[in-house]
Amino acid sequence: MPDQEQLIEGAIEKIRTALDRNQVDEAVAILMNFHPVDRADIFNELSDDERDLLLTRLDTASTADLLEEMEDEEAVDTVEDMPAARLADLLDEMEPDEAADLLGNLSPEQASQVLAEMEDADEVIPLLGYPDETAGGRMTTSYLALKPRTTAEQAIQFLREVHPSVEVPYYLFVISREKALVGVVGLRELVTVSPETMVETIMNPEVIYVGADTDQEEVANLMSKYNLAALPVVNDERHLLGVVTRDDVMEVLEDETTEDILHMGAIETGPLVDKPYWSQRIVDMVRSRFFWLLSLFVAETLTGTVLRHYEGELKAVVSLSFFVPLLIGTGGNAGSQTVSTVIRALALKEIRTADAVRVLWREARTGIFLGLLVGLVAFGRSLLWGVGINLAITVAVTVLAICTWATTVASLIPILAARVGIDPTVVSAPLMATLIDATGLVIYFSLAAMILPQL
């Protein structure tokens, strides 16, 4: 049985063949056989002319579903030349938060024209004023709300009448006459109690909520911690503004993970975080990598400076140079492991900046044990190379010292960065490895001078 990727590739070829024969309806039928997510993947692989042909036959609902599953830039490319009336119909069909995201990426002139044509503009306009990285920017105004004195029977009848298309019909939020959030009730409670039971008697008044300006990462952490399918967003008067849903959080986690991975690789995230690999322009890739690559190159010159300083020692004992790559590599790797561990713990709120001393002590002990274990292996390997007992001892002690030093320094850098408001992932593993390289060589040659009699 072919896997999904093979099915998608086959569908792309069939759609192209059908379009070449001007069989647009057949091409649309092939596309519609797939899940909306797969449709977006297929659509993205087609040329602009092929996309335009499909859009002439896709109905409004299917096109809206397609736009919701596409990346922001690809969605904008698809609709930027579309008539305002047609685009307005599509946005009316989309979830308010998705429509707001797309409108926010259009030019101001086009966005104004489309809003003037929309029937449900009042649901979207409030969302346009919030930054994308906040709860307000992530929330949708499409949610289910009940009054406290609504009966269970009335609530169920309400659901039958509205045929909710909201993303989370499992939670019904309870609001006062002034639209203040006072509780939440689940569908299970509504269908298991007697029909005349009032919502206020079965609702949970202890509702977890956030303000509109709450950072999206904090929103994602809260929803993950409390296993929430939806998180209400309120203003200062606790009036319900909207809800952030689980699928929005998945997007947040994907964006944050992408950003962290790029930072760990010493890559600026601005032009790349929202773009698939094949959509990234070469100039953006160069721009995102150049600054950090240049910075790391300059930092690496410190290693050369240290080697030049100890040129005499290297000439006196040529065997010292054999172990330079091994030692600086070990230090860099140990530091990178610690940085990754501490950054993860910070992200999961397992440690706080106030825990710096405890983390330092814990990682220092870890470094000592790692250094002892790796140092023993290094001692044996050195003897096998026939370099002499003194140099073997030098290498082993250096491994112990470098591992301890690297893990100690690497444990503090992310915490200090977080303390001063810098994203800890910016303190990337490559930068840490570069810094450890130079200091590791200083440790190595200093110990060699003390242990080796010929120096």
Q: What DSSP line would sit under 17-62, residue for residue?
A: HHHHTT-HHHHHHHHHTS-HHHHHHHHHHS-HHHHHHHHHHS-HHH
**Where are the chain's structural domains?**
4-129, 145-251, 277-451
- In tens, the pLDDT along 239-287 reads 999 898 887 777 766 666 666 665 555 555 555 555 554 555 666 656 6
* Tokens of residue 296, six digits: 């790391």
- How many other C-beta atoms can be found within 10 angstroms of the C-beta atom of residue 197? 16
The torsion of the CA quartet 324, 327, 332, 333, rounded to 10 degrees, works out to: 130
pLDDT at 315: 63
User: Domain 4-129 is of which CATH architecture?
Assistant: Alpha Horseshoe (1.25)
User: Domain 145-251 is of which CATH architecture?
Assistant: Roll (3.10)
Please, which residues have CB within 8 angstroms of residue 226's CB and are 6 or more apart in sequence? Answer: 208
- How many other C-beta atoms can be found within 10 angstroms of the C-beta atom of residue 262? 19
* Tokens of residue 82, six digits: 């579309």
Name the residue with tokens 């609530």.
155
pLDDT at 186: 86
* Alpha carbons 395 and 368: distance in angstroms, whole number: 15
Widest distance between CA atoms in the chain: 95
Q: Mark out the alpha helices in 320-428 (DSSP H runs).
A: 324-347, 356-384, 389-419
pLDDT at 1: 43
Positions of the chain with pLDDT under 50? 1, 277
Domain 277-451 has CATH 1.10.150.170: no
* Alpha carbons 294 and 53: distance in angstroms, whole number: 46
